[in-house]
């Protein structure tokens, strides 16, 4: 017995075939996009790992990143090749090599800095000149000086050479950096390392290693060759943020008693001022 052909039946099959094909096409497109993203991420990670170097600072083995012809330690500290090569005490970070003679720091501001950051620099300079024994002085013809240079037009970060190195050295500032973070970068120029890398830090804070981005854990190592001055200060202008280098939005630094803390970088604490004035009596 012959069955009658049902046109609506074939229309439904055709429609389902088209729909299924569409779903498959979308799924393949999504997979391709995800693979592309994963490939780009893998390439970025590979490039980052290629730039990770091992060196010595003040006689201590450290890990740093080499990029744009500079040596970045703990993210925003720039070390000179001389600092990395030195074993002698005069090359130690935090030793006399890193101090500015007489506490006088001559500076200039790049012409492309713009008025917003120039005003922030002025505010930060006033903080140093009014509260510490260092004096930031506009450069005339000095050969040893700091130049504030413009970084990113969309970022809010910065970086700086650590301590006194001689010749021209730089502090880079992004467009949206805060005044307190300008003070932070200037702190590196003065010779300050990060608060979280102090030798006694584990008595006060706990590093949450599982929350740190892949390949960034070295930024949380203790810097044993530095000199700790005064008590640990969780509110120091030189402190890392609680979620610095977080891979999942969770804290990478908490208190030693396993409680979180709120950190507002607003400027100098009394401890910061005392530390700088101990370095520059």
For residues 196 and 170, is the Cβ–Cβ distance under 8 A? no
Which secondary-structure segment (H or E) carries 56? strand 52-57
Parallel, antiparallel, or unpaired: how do β-strands 253-255 and 205-207 relate? antiparallel
Tell whether 196 is in a known binding site: no
Query: Which residues face 104 on adjacent strands?
Result: 135
**Catalytic annotation on 185?**
yes
The count of C-alpha atoms lying within 13 angstroms of the C-alpha of 249, restricted to the half-sphere facing its C-beta, is 0
Residue of 50, 65, 87, 185 marked active site: 185
Of 100, 129, 93, nearest to 228 (Cα)?
Answer: 93
Burial class (CB in 10 A: 0-12, 13-18, 19+), 274: middle
Contacts with 19 (C-beta within 8 Å, 6 or more apart), sequence order? none
Tell whether 48 is in a known binding site: no
C-alpha separations of 146 from 57, 115, 198, 230 in Å: 22, 18, 26, 27
**Residues that constitute the known binding site:** 184, 188, 194
Q: Annotated active-site positions, please?
A: 185
**Residues that constitute the known binding site for Zn(2+):** 184, 188, 194
């Amino acid at each position: 017995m012959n069955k009658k052909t049902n046109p609506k039946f074939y229309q439904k099959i055709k429609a389902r075939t088209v729909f299924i094909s569409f779903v498959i096409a979308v799924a393949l497109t999504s997979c391709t996009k995800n693979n592309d993203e994963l490939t780009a991420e893998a390439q970025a990670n590979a490039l980052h790992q290629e730039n990770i170097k091992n060196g010595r600072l003040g006689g201590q083995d450290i890990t740093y990143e080499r990029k744009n012809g500079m040596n970045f330690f703990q993210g925003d500290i720039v070390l000179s090749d001389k600092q990395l090569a030195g074993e002698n005490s005069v090359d130690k970070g935090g030793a006399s090599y890193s101090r500015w003679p007489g506490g006088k720091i001559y500076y200039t501001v790049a012409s492309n800095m713009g008025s917003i950051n120039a005003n922030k620099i002025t505010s930060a300079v006033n903080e140093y000149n009014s509260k510490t024994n260092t004096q930031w002085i506009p450069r005339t013809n000095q050969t040893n000086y700091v130049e504030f240079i413009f970084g990113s037009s969309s970022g809010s970060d910065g970086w700086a050479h650590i301590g006194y190195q001689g010749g021209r050295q730089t502090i880079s500032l992004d467009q949206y950096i805060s005044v307190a973070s300008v003070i932070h970068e200037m702190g590196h120029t003065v010779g300050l390392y990060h608060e979280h890398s102090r030798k006694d830090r584990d008595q006060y804070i706990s590093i949450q290693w599982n929350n740190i981005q892949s390949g960034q854990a070295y930024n949380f190592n203790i810097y044993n060759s530095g000199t700790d001055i005064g008590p640990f200060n969780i509110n120091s202008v030189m402190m890392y943020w609680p979620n610095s280098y977080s891979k999942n939005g969770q804290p990478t630094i908490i208190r030693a008693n396993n409680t979180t803390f709120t950190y507002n970088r607003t400027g100098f604490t009394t401890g910061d001022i005392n530390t700088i004035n101990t370095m520059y009596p």
